[in-house]
Amino acid sequence: MAINTKTQRHKSRLYVPLWVRILLLAALNLTILAIVSVIFLRLQLRPELESFLMAEARERIGSVTQLVVADLQSTDISHWTEVLGRYSREYGVTFLLYRNTGEQLAGPATQLPPEVDVRLPRGGPPPPPRGEFGPPPGPGPGFFAPPGPPFLAVSKSEPQYWIGVRMPFIEGPNHESLRSVLMLVSPTFFTNPFFFEMRPWIMTGAVVIVISVLCWLPLVRNLTHSIADMQGATAHIAEGHFEVELKARRNDELGSLGTSISRMAARLKTLTEGRKRFLGDAAHELRSPIARMLLAAEILERDAQPSARKYIGDLKDDLNMMSQLTDELLQFARAESALKSPELLPVNVLEAVQTAARREAADGADIRIDVDPAIVVRGNMEYLVRSLGNVLRNAVRYAGDQGPIQISAHRKNQQVQIIVADSGPGIPEDALDKIFTPFYRLDDARDRRTGGTGLGLAIVRTCIEACGGTVECRNRRPSGLEVIIRLPAA
C-alpha cells in the first residue's frame, strides 16, 4: 500500500518539460547575477550609486538649472517661489532654493534634512565684480559661471530623494552675490522619468535575455532532443520491444549513453529470443515423454495392487501438473513468438465470452454474462478466447465460491472494454502491476497446486497486446477484483 501511495504522489506532481526547467534555471541565474551586481555597486559606490544611475539625466538637469537661473535673474526675489512652482508643475518634481549655508530662499517651506545639509557645497568660485551680473555679451542666455554638477542625497524621511545643483552667482535683494543651491526633490527616483530613464535599462535587459536565450536554446534543444530519443527508446524496451537503435549523433556522455542503450536493447533481444526458443523447444520436447509417462501410469494403476494405487495416483497428479505446465509454456512461447504476425479479424465478443465460459465453468461457479451481441472487436478469436479463459480460470479458482463472476462489455469511443469482475479477496495494491509478469505468484510459498504456474495472466497480456490491446486489473470496493481488457473496435 505504501508503494502505491508513493506512486500516486509521484504521478500527481506537475509535469514540467526539461527544456523549461533549464531555461528557468538560466533566468534565475541571470536574476541572481543582476542582484549581486547591484549589491556590489551599492557597496562600492555607496551614495553615488544613484548618481551613477542618473548619468543620462545630468545634461537635462543642467539645462533646466540654466533656465531657472535665467528666470530668477530676471524676476524680483519676491516672485521666486512662483517661478519655482511653475517649474515644479512642469517637470513633476519640487524645486527649492537654499543658500549654501542651509537657509531657504524660495519654494514651499521645507526643512532641509541632515543627510542633505551635509552635502551642500559650502564653498564656490569667487563672486563676480559688482555690476557684472547678468548675461554675457553675445546671443543666447548664459551666465559667467555655469551650474555645478548635480549631486544626490538620500534622506531617511520623506521626501527621500534630493538632487542638488550649485547655482551660478545671482544677485540678491541687496545686490549682493548669492551662493545658492537649487534642490530638486522627489519621493521616488527610479520611477521618475526626470531623474531616471527606465527604457534604456529595460532595452539592455531585453537584449541580455535575448542573447542568453540564443546562446542557451541550441544547447538545450540538442540536449532535450537526445534525452527524448533515449526516453522513447527505453519506453519501447520497457514494453518488450527491443528493435531499438539510437543514432550516435553526439560525442559526449549522452552519446555514450545512447550507444549503451542500443547495445543493451540488442543484448536483451538476443536473450529474450533465446528464452522464447528455449521455452518453446523445452515444452514441445517434454510433451511426448510426459504423455508416455501418463499412459504408463494408467497401465500400472490398472495392474497394480490396491496398496500401490495411492502412490500411482499421486504420480498421475504430478504428471498432470507437469503436462499443464508444459502446455502453458508452449502457449506462452507461441503467443510471444507471434507478436508480429497475428491475423486480426472482426471477432464477436459475446461468442468469445460464451466459448471461454463453457470451457472454464466449474461446479458451484456462477458466471453471469452481460454482453451486447452487436459488439465486435478487431483481434484474434483464439487469442481472445484463451485470454478470457485464463482470467475466468483464476476467478473461479480464487473467488468462485464467494459470489457471482460477472463478464460485461461496452464500447467507448474507438475501443471496447471487456470487464471480468469477481467478489473475491482481491490482491495487494503493490502487486497489481506485477501479476502479468511471467512466473509471478502472490505467495512464493504456494506450490503449483495452490498458486498455479504464474503463466496464466502473462499469457493474457501477451495475447491481448498481440491483438493491439491492453489489459490491467484493479481491486473493487468493498472486495473483489476486476480485469479490464481493452481492444480496438471493429
pLDDT in tens, 46-62: 555 555 666 667 888 88
φ/ψ (deg, to 5) at 132: -105, 15
Q: What is the mean pLDDT of residues 145-155?
A: 80
Distance CA 487, CA 490 (A): 9
* Element (DSSP H or E) covering residue 482: strand 481-488
CB atoms within 10 A of CB 283: 19
Q: What is the mean pLDDT of residues 376-391?
A: 91
Q: Which of 111-115, 155-159, 209-213, 409-413 has the lowest mean pLDDT?
A: 209-213
Distance CA 363, CA 381 (A): 26
> Cell 495472466 appears where?
457
> Cell 527524448 appears where?
228
Strand 376-379 to strand 367-370: parallel, antiparallel, or no bridges (unpaired)?
unpaired
Distance CA 184, CA 164 (A): 6
- At residue 353 the predicted structure's pLDDT band, cuts being 50, 70 and 90, is very high
Give yes or no for residue 479 having a pLDDT over 80.
yes
Report yes or no: 187 and 160 within 8 Å, Cβ to Cβ.
yes
Give yes or no for residue 228 having a pLDDT over 80.
yes
Q: Which of 125-129, 188-192, 253-257, 359-363 has the lowest mean pLDDT?
A: 125-129
Q: For residue 147, is the peptide bond before it cis, meaning its omega torsion is within 30 degrees of 0?
A: no
- At residue 347 the predicted structure's pLDDT band, cuts being 50, 70 and 90, is very high
Distance CA 239, CA 469 (A): 13
